[in-house]
Structures are given as structure tokens and as C-alpha cells.
Chain A
């Protein structure tokens, strides 16, 4: 073994960044800063959140993922199974269900609890749960043959969010953040808005950046009060007082930097205080709905107590899209049991509640995006971590257990061809049919399609970690859902 230098002594800045930790360092903000004239630097490629060119021309600039936590029932929402009505109450065997209650061989059929009708020019079927959304079907592509690996909330949520049932991998939004960077440095690139009833199971694991740096994780935003943790000045501190404090801090830190002028981390940290200061006003502005008309608020169902809360978050999602936020996840449902779509006991009670809260806001979001010309460049995704069984979970009642073998999700906007339905389940609405990747899909196919619409090649967007080039869609890769793009 010789002791020759293993690294060139003079390296490009990118090499330097690549060799530290996971690929870059705290130069994060020098780029932003240089644009502000605060700290001159010749290049700014080091900023991990700097806008990056997509792999190819993007159809969508942003994604709003409406996460129906708990798992909506496909045969009560969009997957019309007319024969199931008359089977209601009949016991059937010969097909194996796998849910929270383990493996079972058939059981008592619970027929769909709502009527369906054909809607729009496309004549797609939608249940009476969604009187408003049914008017939007021509914008929507339904995926009725989705499958997932796990029928258990914790792992299934991780799967839908990060492509793996084990925690520790970056969420879809983190990949987008990593792949495209931010269009607005004063706001986070990946935002999650939770249901006021609580977070989903596993909490922050669902929007974590996993093995990527924390800079790519989602920032939780609240629709009322202080939108981001620690955004508000503490106690009775006035803006002038804080400005005074920050000016003095900058004075000290600049002097400290003077002897260490080559140290970009120190400079980045100085800049980060200015950014934080700016965020204190830009983030509240983003959530300030006073600028919206009453008509717009009504469009989102904010005039109805039932849908006001979810409507507020949908409207906020649109405002964030307008301000350049790339990926916004809005949860319908939180906590446990009937606080989310997890209808184990009473389908009618549960889905009436959650559909009632979300129907008008979601329809409003689609319409509002469209009339503002944003729908073409914003991909809207609807769905839960899995679907529900055609059979009853318990001896009594109408509740359904979890079902990962077949369920419905839908996608609209962002270059998605609406007014169509892709894939199908068997006659019971239990198991997705067809050929995997062609007309039957796994979560990775949905992920791949979203990345693709946003201009990222799902099979090339990778991050080196733990000895491997990791991808959201896994080592085997995944094709996109061709029918809908």
C-alpha cells in the first residue's frame, strides 16, 4: 500500500460537498444569501433546496396529496359493484380476506351503503357520498386496481408515503424536494397539514426525509394560529425589538466571520437568521385567508361548519401552490377509530362524516385550481393507505376491515387525462384484477407516475445511502401508469 494522496488536493465545490456526510453540507443557504447580496459567492450549486432542472419537461409543478387516512371503502365510494347490493347480508366463502383481523375465508357481505350514479360527460360512477365531487369526474382519472403490501395502518401509511413498509426511507414529498428543490425559499418545499383530531399513526415518520438530511422533510403547517412551529416571536417581543436583536447578532457574527472568511458554514448560519426572520412574515401571509373572497371560501365549503376546517386546509393548499410550494399533503382524519376513515363498526356513520367533511372542499379545490389556470400544473391525488373489505368485520354491524388487495385512488390535474377509469376489482370489489403494471398497480406505480408528471424519472432519481443507490420506487424500478398521462 502506498501513501499517495487518495484525493486530489484541489477539488470542485461539488466534490467537496459530496464527500461530506451524505452528500452536502451546510452551505445550504449561501446560495440564497448571495442572491440577496449578503454574502457574495460565485456559485450557488451547493444549496440543497435551490431549484433544480427536472429530468425532462414537467407537466406538473406541484402536487397536492389529499390523504384519506384510515382507508376509504372502494365499493362505497367510486368502485361501483351493482351486484353487491343484493348480496347484502349473505355469507360467502371461497375467497381469502386479509385485514386487521388476520386471514379469513369470506364472510358476511356488506352491500354498498350508498347509491351510485353516472356523472359528467364520461359517465363515470360515483356514490352519493360525493354530491359535489361527482360534478368533477371529467377532470379525474380513477385507479380502481390499486394494491398495497400491508393491510395494517402503521406499515401501510409508511408504504403509501415512502414506498416501504419499514420506516427510515424518505417520503414522496422529500424525493420531490430533493429532486426539484424549492421555488420559494421563504417557504418550505414540502408541507404537511394534519387533521385537528390528531396525526396519523407513526406521526412524523410519515413525512420524514428518512436517510436524507432533515432539510428535505415536511414542515407541519397549521391552518390557524401559528402556522409553523416557533414561527411566532416569543412572548411580548415586538418586531422592532427582534430586529434590534438580530442586527446585533449579525454584527457579532460578522466579526467572528471576518477571521474565518473561508468558512461558508458560518456565513450560511448568518444568512439563515435573515431567512428565518423573513419566514416570520411570509408564512403567516400564506395562511392569511382574509385576502380570499367569500365566494372562494364558500366554494371550498368554508361556509358550512361540517366542511369548514378541511376546506380551509384545501384553500391553504392552493395558496401554497401559488407561492411555489412543491408538495403539500393534507390529511383527512387523524387519531384512531372513527376519527378517521377507519370504518370498523359502522360504515354509514363513518363515511358520512368524513365524506361530508371533504366532498365540497375537494370539489372546490379542483374548480378553483382550474379557474386560476393552476390545475394543469398541479397534480391532485386522493386516497388512503388501503381500501376496505366487501365483507363485515364483526358478526353485527356494517363495519369493514382493512383491505390492501384492491382499492381505489384517483388523480387529477398536472397533465393527467381525466374522465376515465383504469383497472378493476373482482365482482365483489375485493381484489384488483389484471396484469401488474399494466392495469393493476402497486403503490410504486402511483409514485412513479407522480414523479414523472413532475419531470423526474422515477427510475433514475436516486440517493446514495448505505452502500446502494436508493430509489423511491425500489431497486427493481417501476413503470408509470401510462393510461392516465
Chain B
């Protein structure tokens, strides 16, 4: 891996230490797959580049020619090819001819019939040329002087057919394909034939023509393999042969061996660095590929098929390999960069301009601070080219003087090739040095949690516990004093909502008001924390954080199976006061614990709640979108860090390098991605007893099925026999069912035929009993995870350096200790243990702050999921640390934390206005009072249900319900899928149980600022809009509630206006209304204009009550 080293100077250079596989990173970054190929029918030689889909199809360079049977891409980036049967040229990419040779004229050939079908550039600028007609191989120098002549042995001389491909071997011999002779011969340096092979006709008569119907042994190419064998393309033999020294055919590719491909004239042949073969399929006609890469076991890797660009005579093709690219970079490109660009973009000791570092491919691909410089899909549009051509007014590069045209040409070519670089360069990755600065390191949230002593304060009498000492000290510093305690009715209403999300009953209020004992508050808080409604309410807070939704979003927005089990887990966890460290660990790694339980496995549903596209445009990218969701949610929820920002580049605002993001992602890299396949995402967590029970039931079913099947088989055999007798022939295997349907009644008789039908129906109905307890959960793909790479600009298609799992560098230097398990990598457990371990400054702080936030309406840190440098600073940092320290000391006990907060004098204050305090501290930074708050969407809906008498408060937990939604809302869907209806079961449960369909939220809940479902929601908006008023004035829901409330009140107090009004207001506000309130209500009832019936005014009065600010807000 790449070492993480802190910046040494202004520039941080990360040095490869050898463990990293830079070559691997190199080949998997988008260096373009390029092919040099030629086609005489179109008179064209062309470099074809990757069209953006992994197969070469786009012309990036081309030139004209006449005839061609050989071509070469030279190390210097030039091309060597022929423009006619006699003339060879060497051409630069910008089409300057740097060398040419004409075999028709030179070295004694004038007047002779000559054709050249093969040539090869050798060391020292020497060129080998095979001349058909004169039947010789010559070697010439750059000046065309003859250096060597090797005569060839030809049985059937023909200036067009003497030779095809000729290659000089490493031992100095020449391997020659003789087309006319149908043979391959190996000549030594003196022209002696040392090995030869006659290509067989395989006992088929010759047949003329060029297409796939022809037949012959007009051999095109022969290549010597490293194992000493010879690979031969047989031309109109439609095949490739591998022949041993002893002339045995050891491998053979025949005409139709490749699926969907019919080989015609097999021409060009190349062995690629990885061992694959490149073969030419000439004269095969449209609809067939012209060049094919296959593996030695005959799998097609890619094929080039483009008749618009190259036609029916693609005789030659060569893959422009990475080595050539590397040489090109090293010899031509790098010197230009070094001389002209490194001063600002490659100087290890100096300043880097624009964050653009040209010494590693990772950085070249990533670009500078204002974006990428190379467009890999449309290279000609790359910004780099605009810079060097001085077309970009703001970036003329180099600034002083434009590069000479030939250097611009080299860089243009380099960009066209996909900016290949040499392996060594790719290791010098530059990372923005400004991230882990001293200032960042000094940020409050990255410091260890302190254990401050509660300050000494005057006026101790106000304080109930140490929380109050911290708060009071700050108030006194500011010259303010806190409010006195709220009255008891206000307090019980406030704390009951705080803990359970529901209003207290009238009886509960009366009992508390009457309780004059010293520990009345404590007993109230204890009772509330013991209520199962506590779990429901706090589960809802938690569901906000974990982007709770029960569907996948996107086009189908399909259901997540058994998602409700996760909600149940959360409700149970709060109610059973599961220690928070365990709660965290179970959600991240419940399956990797030493003692995984049904509960802990259910908890990992946390990792399954995100959006999932079942039909992604880019499947590979979609996998990383899924992992991104997990990284973002995990880091925000448990660490209060917005790591998601570092997916594409270093975090702009926080000290989180991109590498840290991927190091975090690596913890999750091995998980089985979300899928439609239930086996990937569900785990059977039923008890052994349940499993036995299921097995027992299924055994019975299997037995029944066997019995029925046996009888069915009897009938089938009887039918087969009857059929044989009737038709005089056997039934062939699979046709029995069909024949039975058509002839059964006649051949078997009515009774037996019907019995047969009944048996089949019964067997069909005998389904296995499913497990009673499946849960949405995480699974990994075995103990060994795939590599994780930094993805350049966040693209799954541009992997950069490899990373190992690691914690954010700003928080710790500890390395994760990972113990692989049988079926998983063990990485998530290492992460979970660190999050709740002593080495992490954030987990406890973040959680106590959340608890504080949900009790006071805002956290001590207001940005409760962003403790980073852009987050809000704590208003009471010492209090935060003091609470965090106690929390951990108490064994991460949430109920103790609640109790500590709820019994503090700070929480017990009234919400009354204090003019002096309001003037000095208008937004209550110092907690001089408790802020009035509006009920959340769920609290409001649940409270309306309570008042209407409809809430089913007795039932805790269970699968989700589907309340009725207005048809207008349902119609906004492309297809109505909501199962909701008016049943009591669907409409009487608390809002936390409403099925959360991401594309269709309850309009009432949504309009009152429910949490977003797509991403973690730490703080809900609190808006006031007329649509909310419209919902609570005109919706069917509110009118039903008003009607139910009216009936309930009429049943309990009758229709007497005073009693009715008094009772309605008492229910809604928790307190007995004063006379004026009652009078207002009675006046309303008495002056109600033109009532349609006796109940209408009462019902409208209930509607008023449900709309009261006093009902919707808590003091």
C-alpha cells in the first residue's frame, strides 16, 4: 500500500513502497485500447481508439494507402507501412514521412516484377524487407544501402504469392509464410531451410474464392511462440494452427469455433503480452468482426467490427501495446513536461500551481483544482490541449512561450492515447498538503474528551445537578439568570412528549400535580423511561439518522423485504436500554461478533436501508453509490463527520483526504451488494426450535408430496402404456405432459384423468413452509475482500492507488486490527470496535449531543452530524465533554443520560420570556429558558389520533401499516402501488409504524417537515406554510379526527356547550381552561351560522381545538 506520510514541505509526496501494484493501477486506468489496422478495400490505415466502451472503434488517426500486407507501430511512435506493393514508408503521427524505400527501384530490382508483403524494423534503424518475385529477404540501412541478402526457397514462384508474413527471430533466423507453397519455412542467416512445415488441407479439395466458402492452405502468417512451437494463420484454411517442432498440431482454431463468428481468410496474427492472440478475419463480409482478440482457450475478449471505417480487406492489425506507450511517454512526452511544466506542476520542493501535479498518472487523471485536464471520452476536447495551444485566455501553458509545433503534436498524441505514463511515475502521487494542518489538528472535536470539573457557582440553590453548574456559570458570566421551574402541568406535558412523543393523559397530569413528594419528578421520569412508548419515540429519532425507508427508491421503488424488523430492533434496543456501544457495534458488525444473535444480525439492516437502483445506467458505479451511502451514513451518524464530500476529491472544508474516504469504504468493500436476490440480503434468524418446527412441517409436506407424486407417476405410466397401445409408438421424453392433456381423457377415462388433474393441483399447492423469522441484513463474500482503490474523481472506472482499511487520519494514527472470519472479512467489526473504543473522540460526544438536541430542540453543537471545521461550535463544550465522559463511565447507558438531563434544573425551567435575557441573548444560546417547540410531524399526527380516541396505543411494534392517502396524492405515481385503505388496523397506529415508501410519503407527515428519506437527517427543518394549515383545515384525515373526537366527547360529557368546550380544551392542552377560553368556545357554538345538523358546530369546535397553537406547541 502507499504509506501515509505527513507533508514534509509545502508538498506532500506519497511514495510507492513496492507493495502497491502500480502497473495494475496503470492498466486499469483508462489508457485507451488502441489498434493499428489497415484495409486495402478502403485504402486506409487507421489507429482506432476505444470508443468509450472498451472496444476500439473510433478513428483517431488515419492515412491513405494502396495495398498492404504488413504494418508496424514503432517504438518511437512512428508507423511503418506500405503505400503500395513496393513502397514502404515510415511516418510520424503528424504525417511526416521520415523514411521510405521502394523495392521496385532500389538495390537491383529495377525492371523486375517485385512485391513486398512483409517487412520489419530491426535494431539500429535497419529494415528487413521480404521481396516476392526476386524471392529474397534483404536488410537495408536508413540510407537504403543493402546490408544482407537471404535467398528464399520457392516451389511455385509467383511475385504475388511467394511470401506473406516474415519475421526475424531472436536467434537471427527468419520465419517465412509462403502463401503459394502453402508452407512455413525457417531459414538461417545464410538462407538454409532449418525447419519447414506444409500446411495441411485436411483432405478437403481446394475451392476458389476469398470468402468463408473458399478452401485452401494459402498461409498468411507464422509466429514463433516462446515454447518453440509455431503459430500459423492458414489464410483460406479459415484457421489458426499451433504446430510443434515435431510438426504435430497441438492446438487448432477452426472456422466456427468462436460463437457467432465465422472465420474467412485468416490473416494477421499477433501474440499479445498477456498471452492472448489477435487474429485477422479478412474477406468475411459485413456482420462479421474483422479483428478478434481471443484467449488460448478460445474465448473472445473483444472484437473489432466496423464496416463503415474499415471494409472487407482488413489484412493487418496490431494492438498498440502498453509498452510502446510507455516508451513513447518516456522518450518523447516526459522530456517536454520536465523542461516546460515541472517547475510549477512537478517540483517536489516548490509550490504547485493550481494543484496540478504532472508526475503521477493519478494526478494527471484527477486534474487540478479547477477540474480535469484530459477528456478521456473525447480527447481532442481536453483542456490540456487548449492550454498548450494558448486557446484558453486564463491558462496559456507554458505561459511565457508556446511550445514548438512538434512538441504540441507529441502532447496531442499523448492525450489521444489516454495519457499513458511509465510505471515509475505513477507512484509519485501528490496529495493536497493543506488538509492535516496544525489548525485542523487543534480543532476542538478532534481533541480527546476531557473530564472537566463542574464549575463553582453562586446561588447553588437553583442547581439540581452538575449540568446546571455548567449552565449557570455561563449565564452568570453573561450577567443573566435562569428561569424558575415550569409549572407542573407544563413540565409533565413537556417531559412526556420528550420521552414518549405522546401527550400525557388527563389522569396522569392530575396525579402528578397532586403528588407533592420530593421525588415526584424523578418517579415521573422513571415511569416515562419505562414506558414502551419511549422506544417508539426514540426509534423515530434514530430512524431519521439512518435514512429510514422501506423501499429502494428509483424507478420501481420496490419494497425492501422484512425491513420493519430493523425498526423493531431499534424500538426494542431503546426500550431494553441496550448500551449504546453495543447498539453501534451491532448495526455495523452484528454478524461479525463472537456471539451473533438474531438481534445483532437484524441490526445490520442499518447497512441495507439506502437507495438502490435495480436498473442502473452504470452497474459498476452503482455498486460504489451503494457503498457511498454506507460510508456517508456511518460517518455522519456515529462520528459526526461529513466524509461523503471526499468521494471525488479531498474534502474542501474538513481535513479528510480522499484517501481516508476510500480507507473507510474499504471496511465495507466486501459486503454483498444489495440485490433482488433474497438470499443476498436476508438471513434466517429463527430459533433452533423454530427451525425444527419448520423442518418438521416441511417433512410432512415432503412426505405428502411424495405420496401424491407416486400416485401421479402411476397414472402417467398407465397413460404411457395406453398411448403405446393406441398409437403403436413410445412417447418421447418431454412430450408426455402435452399428450396427456390432449389424449388423457380418452385413453385413461374420465375418473382417472380428473384424479390426475386433482393430484397436480394438490402438489402445486403443497409449498414449503417459510422460515418465520427472516431479517434484512448484511452478508459478505467470504473472508477475502477485493482490493479497494482510490477512485479518481469518484469514478468506478478510474481506480487509482490501492488502499487498506483505515480510520480518518485526523482522528487517530491507530491501524485497524482485522481478524478475518469464516464468512466475512472481519473489517466492519474492527471499525465498530474503534468507533466505540477509547481511541475515538467523537462517538460519545456525538450521541450525548443528539440526546440533548432531542430534549432541548437543539444540540450543544447545533450541527449535530457535523462536528467538523464547518460545523457549529459547541455552546457549552465543557458540559458536552462532561456528559460524554459520564455516558461512557455509565456503560453507555442512555436511560441514565436521559434522566440526568431531564431532572436538571436547566430542563425544568419555564419557557417564559425574560425581557433582559431576550435582549442580551435573543436565541437562547445560554439556556436561560427552555424554548417553546412545535410538535414534530409524527407527534402531531399521533396526538390528533389520541384526541380522536383512535390511537391504538396498546400495540407495540410489528410490521408496517398503510394509512389511507388522498387519491390525488396516489395519482402522482406512475403506477398506484399503495396498499392503504380505511381499515382501523391501517389508520390507528402511531406514525412510526406507517410504511415509508420513498416516492410516496404521507402528505401530512411530509408537509410538517418529516425527515428526508434519501440521506441521513440530523436536524429537521421547521417551516410554517399555508399547506400545513390547509391540511389541518380541509383534509379528510383531520375531519375524521374531529368527528371522532366529537363523538368521544359527546359520549363522555354530552352536548352541553360548557362541558363540551371545557373537556375538549382540557384534552388538547392538558390544563383546565379558564373562563374566557370556555366563553370563547361557547360563543362559537352558539353563534355558529346555519348549522346543517346538531353535530356540525361541535365538530367544527373540535377542529379548532386540533388547530390550536397551544395544542401544536409545547412550552
Contacts and interface: CB of A to CB of B under 8 A. Distances in A.
A256 B1108 contact: yes
A103 interface: yes
Interface stretch (A76-84, A144-152, A375-383): A144-152
A275 B1028 CA distance: 11
Contact of B974 (A96, A251, A257, A336): A336
A276 to B, nearest CB: 4
A173 to B, nearest CB: 15
Given A230-B1031, A276-B1033, A93 B287 contact: yes
Given A236-B1092, A244-B1088, A29 B1024 contact: yes
A252 B1108 contact: yes
A214 B578 CA distance: 35
Contacts of B921: 9-10
A220 to B, nearest CB: 6
B885 interface: no
B1009 interface: yes
Contact of A166 (B625, B925, B1091): B625
B823 interface: no
Given A94-B57, A201-B555, A248-B1084, A272 B877 contact: no
Interface in A236-259: 236-238, 240-242, 244-245, 248-249, 251-253, 255-257, 259
A268 B1025 CA distance: 9
B873 A6 contact: yes
A262 B918 contact: yes
Interface string A148-175: 0111111110000000011110000000
A466 B554 CA distance: 21
B1104 A213 contact: no
A1 B444 contact: yes
A467 B653 contact: yes
Given A199-B971, A205-B999, A252-B1110, A7 B875 contact: yes
Interface string A210-241: 11011100011010001011111111111011
A271 B1024 CA distance: 9
Contacts of B322: none
Interface stretch (B687-695, B952-960, B1034-1042): B1034-1042
A279 B632 CA distance: 41
Contacts of A237: 1100
B1104 A252 contact: yes
B1087 interface: yes
A306 interface: no
A280 to B, nearest CB: 8
A381 to B, nearest CB: 21
B968 A152 contact: no
A253 B1109 contact: yes
A28 interface: yes
A296 to B, nearest CB: 27
Given A155-B616, A436-B381, A272 B866 contact: no
Contact of B932 (A1, A5, A236, A260): A260
Given A214-B1023, A237-B1100, A241-B1088, A202 B381 contact: no
B553 interface: yes
Contact of A155 (B307, B470, B554): B554
Interface string B941-972: 00000000000000000000000001011011
Given A94-B307, A213-B1023, A5 B875 contact: yes
B1022 A436 contact: no
Interface residues of A, number: 111
B269 to A, nearest CB: 23
Interface in B529-574: 553-557
A9 to B, nearest CB: 4
A460 B1076 CA distance: 54
A105 interface: yes
Interface string B194-209: 0000000000000000
A436 B1019 contact: no
A204 B999 contact: yes
B1024 A235 contact: no
A37 interface: no
A19 interface: yes
A272 B1029 contact: yes
Contacts of A5: 474, 477-478, 875, 925-926
A466 B642 contact: yes
B60 to A, nearest CB: 15
Contacts of A466: 632, 636, 642, 644-645, 1015
A7 B618 CA distance: 46
B974 A276 contact: no
A256 B1003 CA distance: 28
Which size bracket describes the interface of B in this complex?
A: 35 or more
B1028 A272 contact: yes
Contacts of A155: 554-555, 613, 616-617
Q: Which of B866, B1030, B1107 has the most CB of A within 10 A?
A: B1030
Interface string B862-891: 100010101011111110010000000000
Instruction: Name B's interface SS.
Output: loop
Interface string A1-45: 101011101110000100111100111110000000000000000
A89 interface: no
B1034 A234 contact: yes
Contacts of A229: 966, 968-969, 1003, 1027, 1030-1031, 1035
A96 B53 contact: yes
Contacts of B1038: 234
A265 interface: yes
A381 B919 CA distance: 50
A252 to B, nearest CB: 6
Contacts of A334: 974
A422 interface: no
Nearest to A476: B371
Nearest to B288: A93
A198 B868 CA distance: 44
Given A3-B877, A214-B1007, A248-B1104, A28 B1023 contact: yes
A270 interface: yes
A230 B1104 CA distance: 17
A292 B642 CA distance: 53
Nearest to B615: A152
Nearest to B371: A476
Contact of A154 (B455, B554, B1022, B1033): B554
Contacts of A230: 966, 1027, 1030-1031, 1033-1035
Nearest to A275: B1026
B435 to A, nearest CB: 14
B306 interface: yes
28 contacts: A7-B873, A9-B921, A19-B862, A19-B872, A26-B1022, A29-B1024, A152-B613, A152-B615, A155-B616, A155-B617, A156-B617, A167-B1014, A199-B973, A229-B966, A230-B1034, A233-B1033, A238-B1089, A241-B1088, A248-B1080, A252-B1109, A256-B1109, A256-B1110, A259-B912, A262-B918, A335-B974, A466-B1015, A467-B642, A475-B648
Given A21-B1022, A28-B1023, 10 more contacts: A155-B555, A199-B972, A214-B1009, A229-B1027, A241-B1088, A244-B1100, A272-B1028, A273-B1029, A279-B1030, A467-B644
Interface of A: 1, 3, 5-7, 9-11, 16, 19-22, 25-29, 48, 91-96, 98, 100, 103, 105, 149-156, 165-168, 194, 198-205, 210-211, 213-215, 219-220, 222, 226, 228-238, 240-242, 244-245, 248-249, 251-253, 255-257, 259-263, 265-266, 268-273, 275-276, 279-280, 334-336, 404, 435-436, 466-468, 475-476
Q: Which 6 A-B pairs have the closest CB atoms?
A: A467-B642, A154-B555, A94-B306, A168-B1014, A150-B617, A276-B1029
